[in-house]
C-alpha cells in the first residue's frame, strides 16, 4: 500500500503523458502532493520499516532523503506548468518530458529506499537513462550533443558503480552468500569481511563512479555543460533528486567502508574533495551565466557534504544536504525568469519586477542567493560551522594534525573565492544593468515559496533533533 | 572449455577495436556476447546454478541476437556512416592493447589472490572494461561508442559471473531491463537527427 502510494504521482504522470489534452498537466500539480501522504506515514511508523520485504527498507535517513526529494519533485512539477512560457518547447516534447520525468522519479524512489546494492544501481541507471531524453527535449544542436555526452559519461559512471558493487559483493559473499547485496547485513558484518582489500577496491571504484556523476574532479565541467544546454527543470531535478540519490548511496557505502578501514576512506575522500573544490572555485570565479554558476556551486556543496560526512559530522552533512536540495532547485527554477531577457545577462537580472508577484520573486531569489553562500540564518551557515568544527576535531586526533589544519585553511580560502564571486554577482544583478520588465507566473512562485518554507522548516528544533537522531 | 571461451571473448573484443566497418563491428559485438552467454551456460551447468543458465540463455537471445539486429536496423533507418576509422592509428593501438592487458593483470594481482574460483578471469574482465573504454574513446562516430558501452556491460557481466559465481537473479534481470531501456533511449536519440550522425 505504502509503495503504491509513493509511486502513484509518478505513475499518474506517466499515464497522463500519453494524453494529448494540454490542460491535463494541471492535474499533475495536484496529484504530485499525494506523495507526501505515505512519507508522513513513514515518519510516524517505527523504523526500520520494511516497505517491500528486505529489498526496500525505510530507515530514518531514507525517510528524510525521500521527503526532501519529493518536495523537489512537487516544486518541479509546479514549475513545469509554465515551461512553455519561458522556452520554446513543442507539445510532443513537453509530453515526453513528463513521461521520462515519471520514469526518473520511479527509479530514484527505488534507489533511495533500497536496502540492496543491486536495486540501488538499477534505480540509478533507470534515472540516468530517462534523463538523457529529458535533455533532448530541447531541440537544439547543443542539447543533442549534450544528451549524447550524458548518455556516454553517465553510462561510464554508472558502470563504474556497478563494477564496484560486484567487487564489494564478491568480498562479502563467502560469509553472507547472496545476502551480501544487502546494506544492513553488510554493515552488521563489515568487520568479518574476509578480504577487506577487495571491498575497499570495490568501494573506491564505486565512489569514483558516484563522484563522476556529481561532477567531481576530473569531470568538473560535464554536468555544467549539460545543465546549460537543457531546459532549466532538468537542472533542478539533477541537483534536487538525482544528486540526493547518488549521495545517499555514498552515505550507505561509506558507512560500511568506515567499519572496514576508516583511515583509508578518510584520506581518499579528503584529498579527492579538496582537489574538486580547488578546481571548482576557480571555475565559479570565471562563470558567466546562471546555469553554469549554480551547477558548479552544486558540485562545491556536494563535495562539502561528502567531506563533512566522512569527517564524523553526519548531522552537518545532512543539514547541508537538505538545505542544498531546497536552495539549488529553487535557484535553477528561477533562472527561467532571470534569463527571460537573455542567457548571459547577469546585470539587472533582479530588476524590472512589478506587482506583488514580482516583488516576492526578487526577494525570494535574493534570499536564496545569499543563503547558498552560507550567510546566517541560512541552514548552510550552521551546517558549515558544525562541519568545520568536526573536521578540526578529526585533525586534532590524527597523526598529521598540521597538514590537516593547513588543508582546512586552504579549503576556507577557496570557499572565500566562491563567496566573493556570488556577492559580486548579486550586486550586479541588483544594482547594475538596464531595468527590463520580466513576468513571474503564479505556479513557479508557488514552487519557490514551497522551497522557502521547507528551508525554514529545516531550522525548527524538531527537524534538527530528527537529523541528530539519524547521525 | 571455460579458458577457451574466455580467450574467445577477449579476442572478439580486441578484433572489434581494429574494425573499420560498422556491420563487422556489430558482428564482433554479437560474437563477444555469444561467448559470454555460452560461458554463463557452461559455468552455470558446472556449478548447477539454474539462475545462471537462464541468464546465459537471455544473454544469447538479447545481446548476441536481439541488440545487434536492432542496431543494424537503426543504422539502416538513420543512414549511419558505415566506415568507422579509429582515431588511434593501428600501429599505436597494437602497442596499447597488450599494454592495457599487462597493466590490468598487474593491477588486479592483489584481488586474484583473494578470489579462489576463476581468479585470472577477474583480471580479464577488468581488462575488457578498459578495452571497451578504449573502443569508446578511439571513435568519433556515435555507433561505435554505443557498441563500446554495450561491451562495457559485457565486461561487467563477465566480472559478475567469474568473481561471484553469478549475481542474484533479481539484479541480473534488472541489468537486462536497463539495457533494453538504453536501447529505447538510443533509438529516441537518433530520431530526427539523422543528418547529424
Chain-chain contact of A156 with B133 (C-beta, under 8 angstroms): yes
User: Residue A422 falls within a domain, yes or no?
Assistant: yes
In this complex, the residue of B110, B167, B193 whose CB is nearest that of residue A166 is B167
The kind and range of the H/E element at A394 are helix A379-397
Given a cut of 90, whether residue A434 has pLDDT beyond it is no
Q: Which residue from B minimizes the CA distance to A117? A: B171
Q: A226 to chain B: which residues are within 8 Å by CB?
A: none
Rounded Cα–Cα distance for residues A3 and A226 (Å): 32
CB pair distance less than 8 Å for B185 and A129: yes
Tell me the average pLDDT across A232-243: 90
Residue A407 lies in a domain: yes
Residues linked to residue A128 through DSSP beta bridges, in sequence order: none
Q: How many domains does chain A have?
A: 1
Burial of residue A302 (CB within 10 Å: 0-12, 13-18, 19+) is buried
Q: How many CB atoms lie within 10 A of CB A414?
A: 19
Instruction: Select from A141, A144, A198 the Cβ nearest to the Cβ of B111.
Output: A198
Contacts of B153 in chain A (CB under 8 A): 159
pLDDT given at position B194: 40
Does position B64 have pLDDT exceeding 90, yes or no? yes
pLDDT at B166 over 80: no
Of B145, B156, B163, the CB nearest to A159: B156
Question: Which of the two residues, A405 and B114, has the higher pLDDT score?
Answer: A405
Is the CB of residue A95 less than 8 Å away from at least one CB of chain B? Answer: no
pLDDT in tens, A208-220: 999 999 989 888 8
pLDDT reading at B193 higher than 50: no
Which pLDDT tens digit goes with each residue over A296-308?
Answer: 999 999 999 999 9
pLDDT recorded at residue B195: 38
pLDDT in tens, A110-156: 999 999 999 999 999 888 888 888 898 888 888 888 888 888 888 88
Indicate the pTM of the whole model. 0.91
Look at residues A241, A239, A209 and name the one whose alpha carbon lies nearest to residue A224: A239
When CB atoms are compared, the residue of B152, B156, B177 closest to A166 is B156
Report yes or no: A201 at the B interface, CB cutoff 8 Å: yes
**pLDDT bracket for residue B117 (50, 70, 90):** low
How many CB atoms are located within 10 Å of the residue B3 CB? 10
Name every chain B residue with its beta carbon within 8 A of the beta carbon of A104: none
Region A344-348 average pLDDT: 82
Domain hosting A364: range is 261-471
Q: What is the mean pLDDT of residues A265-279?
A: 92
Structure letter (DSSP) for residue A114 = B
- C-alpha dihedral, A100 to A105 to A108 to A114, nearest 10°: -120
Per-residue pLDDT, averaged over A151-172, amounts to 88
Q: Could you tell me which chain A residue has the CA closest to the CA of B119?
A: A170
Angle at A90 between CA A240 and CA A107, to 5 degrees: 35
Residue A230 to chain B, least CA–CA distance (Å): 14
Query: What is the pLDDT, as a whole number, of residue B9?
Result: 93
Disruptive mutation site among A111, A178, A183 for chain B (greatest number of B CBs within 10 Å): A178
CB contact under 8 A, A169 and B167: yes
DSSP secondary structure of A28-71: HHHHGGGGHHHHHHHHHS-SSEEEETTTEEE-HHHHHHHHHHHH
Q: Residues of A with CB below 8 A from B115's CB?
A: 170, 195, 198
Sign of CA dihedral A251, A252, A254, A255: positive
* Cell output for A444: 513557479
Residue B119 has pLDDT above 70, yes or no: no
- Find chain A residues with C-beta within 8 A of B189's C-beta: 132-133, 136, 144, 147-148, 151
Q: Is A46 domain-assigned?
A: no
* Chain B touched by A149 (CB under 8 Å): no
pLDDT at A380: 94
Q: Do A181 and B152 touch (CB under 8 A)?
A: no
Yes or no: say if A276 and A284 are a contact pair by the CB < 8 Å rule: no
Q: Among all chains, which residue has been given the C-alpha cell 527543470?
A: A233
C-alpha gyration radius of chain B: 17
A260 — contact with chain B (CB < 8 Å)? Answer: no
Size of interface A-B (CB pairs under 8 A): 99
Asked if the Cβ–Cβ distance from A132 to B185 is below 8 Å, we say yes
Let me know how long chain A is. 471
Contact at CB, A163 and B114, closer than 8 angstroms: no
Query: Residues of A with CB below 8 A from B164's CB?
Result: 166, 169-170, 173
Residue A390 pLDDT more than 60?
Answer: yes
> pLDDT tens digits for A49-86?
898 888 899 999 999 999 999 999 999 999 999 888 88
Contacts of B24 (CB under 8 A, 6+ apart): none
**How high is the pLDDT of residue A1?**
56
A176 chain-B contacts, CB cut-off 8 A: none
pLDDT value of residue B197:
38
Mean pLDDT of A372-376: 90
Enumerate the residues of chain A whose CB falls inside 8 A of the CB of residue B107: none
A333: Cα within 13 Å, side-chain hemisphere: 37
pLDDT given at position A212: 92
In a domain, A141, yes or no: no
Nearest to B138 by CA among B12, B14, B17, B27: B17
pLDDT band at A445 (very low <50, low <70, confident <90, very high): very high
Euclidean distance between CA atoms B27 and B44, whole angstroms: 25
State chain A's mean pLDDT as an integer.
90
By the CB < 8 Å criterion, does A148 face chain B?
yes
pLDDT of B137 higher than 50: yes
Shortest CA gap B187–chain A (Å): 10
Amino acid at each position: 500500500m505504502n509503495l503504491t502510494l509513493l509511486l502513484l504521482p509518478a505513475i499518474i504522470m506517466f499515464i497522463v503523458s500519453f494524453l494529448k489534452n494540454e490542460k491535463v498537466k494541471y492535474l499533475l500539480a495536484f496529484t504530485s502532493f499525494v506523495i507526501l501522504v505515505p512519507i508522513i506515514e513513514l515518519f510516524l511508523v517505527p523504523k526500520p520499516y520494511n516497505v517491500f520485504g528486505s529489498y526496500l527498507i525505510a530507515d530514518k535517513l531514507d525517510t528524510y532523503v525521500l521527503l526532501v526529494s519529493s518536495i523537489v519533485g512537487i516544486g518541479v512539477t509546479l514549475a513545469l506548468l509554465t515551461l512553455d512560457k519561458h522556452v520554446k518547447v513543442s507539445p510532443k516534447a513537453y509530453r515526453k518530458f513528463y513521461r521520462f520525468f515519471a520514469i526518473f522519479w520511479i527509479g530514484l524512489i527505488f534507489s533511495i529506499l533500497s536496502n540492496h546494492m543491486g536495486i540501488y544501481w538499477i534505480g540509478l541507471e533507470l534515472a540516468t537513462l530517462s534523463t538523457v531524453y529529458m535533455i533532448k527535449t530541447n531541440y537544439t544542436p547543443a542539447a543533442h550533443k549534450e544528451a549524447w555526452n550524458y548518455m556516454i559519461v553517465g553510462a561510464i559512471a554508472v558502470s563504474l558503480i556497478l563494477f564496484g558493487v560486484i567487487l564489494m559483493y564478491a568480498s562479502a559473499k563467502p560469509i553472507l552468500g547472496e545476502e551480501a547485496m544487502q546494506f544492513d547485513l553488510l554493515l552488521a558484518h563489515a568487520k568479518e569481511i574476509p578480504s577487506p582489500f577487495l571491498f575497499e577496491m570495490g568501494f573506491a571504484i564505486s565512489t569514483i563512479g558516484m563522484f563522476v556523476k556529481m561532477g567531481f574532479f576530473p569531470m568538473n565541467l560535464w554536468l555544467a555543460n549539460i545543465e546549460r544546454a537543457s531546459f532549466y527543470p532538468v537542472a533542478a531535478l539533477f541537483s534536487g533528486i538525482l544528486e540526493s540519490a547518488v549521495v545517499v548511496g555514498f552515505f550507505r557505502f561509506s558507512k560500511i567502508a568506515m567499519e572496514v578501514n576508516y583511515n583509508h576512506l578518510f584520506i581518499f575522500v579528503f584529498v579527492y574533495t579538496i582537489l574538486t573544490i580547488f578546481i571548482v572555485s576557480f571555475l565559479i570565479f570565471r562563470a558567466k551565466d546562471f546555469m553554469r554558476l549554480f551547477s558548479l556551486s552544486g558540485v562545491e556543496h556536494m563535495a562539502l557534504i561528502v567531506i563533512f560526512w566522512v569527517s564524523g559530522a553526519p548531522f552537518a552533512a545532512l543539514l547541508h544536504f537538505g538545505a542544498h536540495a531546497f536552495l539549488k532547485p529553487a535557484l535553477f527554477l528561477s533562472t527561467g525568469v532571470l534569463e527571460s531577457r537573455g542567457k548571459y545577462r547577469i546585470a539587472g537580472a533582479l530588476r524590472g519586477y512589478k506587482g506583488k508577484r514580482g516583488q516576492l520573486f526578487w526577494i525570494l531569489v535574493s534570499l536564496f542567493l545569499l543563503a547558498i553562500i552560507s550567510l546566517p540564518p541560512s541552514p548552510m551557515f550552521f551546517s558549515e560551522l558544525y562541519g568545520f568544527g568536526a573536521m578540526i576535531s578529526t585533525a586534532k586526533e590524527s597523526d598529521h594534525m598540521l597538514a590537516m589544519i593547513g588543508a582546512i585553511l586552504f579549503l576556507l580560502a577557496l570557499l572565500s573565492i566562491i563567496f566573493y564571486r556570488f556577492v559580486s554577482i548579486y550586486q550586479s544583478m541588483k544594482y547594475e544593468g538596464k531595468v527590463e520588465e520580466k513576468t513571474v507566473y503564479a505556479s513557479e512562485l508557488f514552487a519557490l515559496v514551497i522551497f522557502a518554507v521547507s528551508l525554514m522548516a529545516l531550522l525548527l528544533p524538531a527537524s534538527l533533533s530528527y537529523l541528530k537522531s539519524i547521525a | 572449455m571455460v579458458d577457451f571461451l574466455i580467450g574467445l571473448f577477449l579476442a572478439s573484443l580486441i578484433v572489434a577495436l581494429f574494425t573499420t566497418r560498422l556491420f563487422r563491428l556489430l558482428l564482433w559485438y554479437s560474437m563477444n556476447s555469444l561467448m559470454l552467454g555460452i560461458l554463463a551456460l557452461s559455468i552455470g551447468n558446472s556449478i548447477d546454478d539454474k539462475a545462471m543458465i537462464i541468464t546465459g540463455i537471455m544473454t544469447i537471445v538479447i545481446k548476441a541476437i536481439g541488440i545487434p539486429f536492432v542496431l543494424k536496423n537503426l543504422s539502416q533507418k538513420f543512414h549511419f556512416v558505415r566506415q568507422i576509422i579509429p582515431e588511434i592509428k593501428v600501429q599505436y593501438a597494437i602497442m596499447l592493447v597488450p599494454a592495457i592487458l599487462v597493466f590490468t593483470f598487474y593491477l588486479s594481482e592483489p584481488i586474484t589472490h583473494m578470489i579462489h574460483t576463476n581468479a585470472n578471469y577477474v583480471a580479464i574482465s577488468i581488462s575488457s572494461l578498459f578495452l571497451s573504454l578504449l573502443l569508446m574513446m578511439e571513435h568519433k562516430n556515435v555507433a561505435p561508442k554505443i557498441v563500446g558501452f554495450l561491451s562495457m556491460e559485457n565486461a561487467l557481466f563477465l566480472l559478475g559471473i567469474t568473481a561471484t559465481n553469478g549475481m542474484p537473479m533479481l539484479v541480473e534481470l534488472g541489468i537486462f531491463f536497463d539495457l533494453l531501456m538504453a536501447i529505447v533511449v538510443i533509438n529516441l536519440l537518433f530520431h530526427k537527427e539523422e543528418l547529424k550522425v
